[in-house]
Chains A and B, each alone.
Chain A
């Protein structure tokens, strides 16, 4: 709880200094990339390549094809579930 409040409570309206700002600017792609990796191949202290990877790959194609967010998620889920069934 405290972590989420840290920014808004401490900084309020003040701007970040420029060097810090350019780090924060690329923080988003860094965190998102890390989240993609951990949720795709993350296991119990190991890398697990399973149906999730296929699902995310299918999702990547959907993203390339400019599909809406819900379609991307649905495609990824469907492919993963389908492969699991087989």
Chain B
């Protein structure tokens, strides 16, 4: 029987990912400056939201001249996926409500996906990965606002690294036929909705593909 993972195992698991959230955080910092936020607002946003896609979506909307309301709705829609995610992960958290509320802030796509790799969600992995990524994300944002436009994430191909990461995390699930069907359905839903729906909606809609799980 395996030992439950410790937090330091989580940190170790996150090390290969370390560069990406730092650089992405820096990219967000640059983008936020462009969108008219100051460095403090950008850092606070990263510190309280800790969700790359929601933050990027909100920042690009502001950058394109959209209103704050649209940016907030987009961020909420993108973060809506954290409700089912956090429910899926819920059993591994213990302690007082306040502690659980705080620790659950470390749930992010990577910490959740890595924590689930062994088949059951591992608390140590989630907290360890979440902590490391959080520090890097917020730190990266701060550096980004300072460095300004010296950084070009696309020149380094960073925008291909993250989807590749998610693909790598998806791969182990594809051993079950039901998972393959669900993934395909989710991909189709996303592809169809991307050109027509506002940012964030395709991802939330794609989660409906999980209803395939209801079929015995």
Contacts and interface: CB of A to CB of B under 8 A. Distances in A.
A9 B101 contact: yes
Given A3-B83, A26-B213, A32 B170 contact: yes
Contacts of A47: 191, 194-195
Contact of A32 (B20, B48, B107, B173): B173
A77 B157 contact: yes
A15 B16 contact: no
Interface string B145-189: 000000000111111111111111111011000111011111101
A37 to B, nearest CB: 4
Contact of A7 (B87, B182, B185): B87
Contacts of A39: 159, 162-163, 166
Chain A interface, DSSP helix/strand/loop, else mixed: helix
Interface residues of A, number: 67
Interface size grouping (class) on chain B: 35 or more
A79 B64 CA distance: 29
B85 A27 contact: yes
Interface stretch (B1-9, B25-33, B36-44, B204-212): B204-212
Contact of A73 (B20, B88, B104, B109): B20
A30 B186 contact: yes
B203 A38 contact: yes
B168 A69 contact: yes
Nearest to A48: B194
Interface in B36-78: 48-49, 53, 60, 64
List 5 A-B pairs, minimum CB-CB distance, nearest first.
Answer: A55-B160, A7-B86, A59-B164, A81-B157, A76-B164
12 contacts: A4-B85, A4-B107, A9-B100, A11-B90, A13-B91, A32-B167, A33-B170, A35-B53, A36-B167, A42-B194, A62-B164, A77-B157
Interface of B: 16-17, 20, 48-49, 53, 60, 64, 79-91, 93-94, 97, 100-101, 103-105, 107, 109, 113, 116, 154-171, 173-174, 178-180, 182-187, 189-191, 194-199, 202-203, 206-207, 209-214
Given A19-B214, A75-B164, 5 more contacts: A7-B83, A23-B214, A45-B195, A63-B167, A72-B168
